[in-house]
Amino acid sequence: MSESPSEWTAELPSSLTQELILGVKDQIEKDFGLMGFTFTETLPLNLEMLLPELTECIAQLQQNHHGTWMKVVYRVDLTEKQYKFVQRMGGNTPENMAKAVILREFQKVYTRKHFS
């Protein structure tokens, strides 16, 4: 993906609160709990700040622990269609996967907050 940092989040609600951002961060840490992954940034200002660390984590998983990566994909609840779409996009696949994970985790947090 060669868009600017905020283009991939352009479709999200403009009222993205710190509570939602922290919810996404916490949900990612929960779903990546198989490996003990935690972000070093404790108070991210936006979803884009989560991207570098998550990209690095995904790259390591894909290269060294493919089975664990597939378990994480299942826990995050990326569909097979979404997963294959990201793989076919080209470019930096770990970065694109990280974007897909962040967006899926946002969807879960947003839905939980607004519909429960």
What is the pLDDT, as a whole number, of residue 26? 96
Q: How far is CA 53 from CA 14, 108, 112, in A?
A: 24, 20, 25
Which residues lie below 8 Å from residue 37, measured CB to CB, with a gap of 6+?
Answer: 28, 29, 57
Q: Looking at residue 2, what is its pLDDT?
A: 44
The predicted model scores a pTM of: 0.88
- What's residue 17's pLDDT? 85
Q: What is the four-CA torsion angle of 33, 56, 17, 71, rounded to 10 degrees?
A: -30
Quote the pLDDT of residue 15: 66
Give the pLDDT score at 10: 75
pLDDT the model gives residue 1 = 42
Split the chain (116 residues) into runs of 10 and give each run's mean pLDDT: 61 79 96 90 90 96 93 94 89 91 95 86
Q: How would DSSP label each residue in 85-104?
A: HHHHT-S-HHHHHHHHHHHH
Residue pair 34/71 in contact (Cβ under 8 Å)? The answer is yes
Taking the CA atoms of residue 55, residue 39, residue 27 and residue 109 in that order, the dihedral angle to the nearest 10 degrees is -80
